[in-house]
Every structure is written in structure tokens, then in C-alpha cells.
Amino acid sequence: MVRTALDTIDLQLHSGNHPRVGIVDHICFHPLAATTLEDVAGTAKSLAADVGSSLQVPTFLYGAAHGEGKSLDSIRRELGYFRPNAQGNQWAGGTISDTLLVKPDEGPNQAVISKGIIVIGATGWVDNYNIPVFSNDINVVRRIAKRASGRGGGLTSVQSMALCHTEGVIEVACNLLEPNKVNGIQVQLEVERLAKEEGVCVGKGYYTDLPQENIVDSYLKLV
């Protein structure tokens, strides 16, 4: 899949409202059922070594696959992932310079702008929950996203950012790093509270992924 994507897509021809550092931006392995975090960390490291050597793409490791447990968001901050580079809070073309300021864990130290880089990791299960905010003011929604996040003094184990969605709608996009402790309902209520303080309305949030139980059930039906 990675090889086909790299051979088919030219990042310089693409733009959108979601950040990315490469054609295959991010691959994460999660332990499901009886699989352990150590198991998936080994898989992540093996894939990263293969991608770096055979496909010659700079590859960064995070989470349990990284020797020091480096987090995904810290790598992304180092690489400028969260900074739009085009009008309208868009990301356009290649956003990574050919000479990397941060040394990758695998692969060359230089990136091909049309391909970018890849980040590969292993963590416990992460839920993704997005909440629409009915506003065109990106700064307002950024404040809400920051205050809702653990980094901004809000809900622990929650990462969030504001992403333009459609006209009149900006989403608070959240990673729930410990969904057994902080779930989508809690995030929804917190964003609603913060939005009320900012004088804007929100809609019902939604999960962008399937529950892990459904994924396991679907797999077991195939084997």
C-alpha cells in the first residue's frame, strides 16, 4: 500500500484543510484482543526499517516503537505539522523541506518534496472524536480546542486542534489517548461549555473510526 501510494501520488499537486507531512502521513499500530503493545511495537519498527531502506523515505518512530517513547504530537511540532502554509488555513503542496532539521529514525536525512516523510508508531487504542462548531472565526475555535486539551489545561489525555470543515463550520478535532478515562461524551460537554463562553454554537460530535470491538469482530468473521 505504501509503495503504491508513493508511486501514484504527487504531494505537490494536493491541498486540503487537514495537515500532513507526507503522502503516507502516519501509520499507527494498536494492540487488539490478545495482542500486546510489545507485539505491535515490533511490527511498527520492522515496517519503518523496510520503508526507510527499500523505499528511501525518511521515517520517524513514536510511542512504544521509539526507544524513549517519543510522542506523535512532539514529532509533529518539530516538523511544523500544525502550521498551515496556504491561504484559508490550508495545507498545500509539500510542507516538508528537502533537508530535514530533525534526524529520522530510519531512511535518508533528505526528503523528496513530492513524497514527504512518514511517521510510524505503536500506542494503546486512540479514539478520534470531532465536534462541529458553527463559526467562520478560526481563532475562536482554536481557543476552544486549546482550552479543551490536556496541553491547554483542559481534559487530560485529550489532544485537539481546530480544522476548517465547510463554510460556516470549523471542527474541534480530538485525539482521545485514553478513551477509557476520557470519552467522547465528556469532550462534547467540555467543548459545549467553552463554546458558550465564546458565544458560538456547536453540533453533535462524531467518532471518525470504528470502535475497537467492531474491528475485532469483523476480523474474526474473516478468519
Active-site annotation, residues: 18
User: The C-alpha cell of 144 is what?
Assistant: 476552544
Alpha helices (H) along 9-103? 37-54, 72-78
Please report, in angstroms and rounded to a whole number, the separation of the first and last CA atoms in the chain. 22
**Could you give the count of Cα atoms lying within 13 Å of 50 in the half-sphere of its Cβ?**
10
* In the chain, beta strands by DSSP E: 15-16, 26-29, 59-63, 91-92, 118-122, 127-134, 158-166, 169-176, 201-202, 206-207
- State how far the Cα of 151 lies from the Cα of 158, in Å rounded to an integer: 8
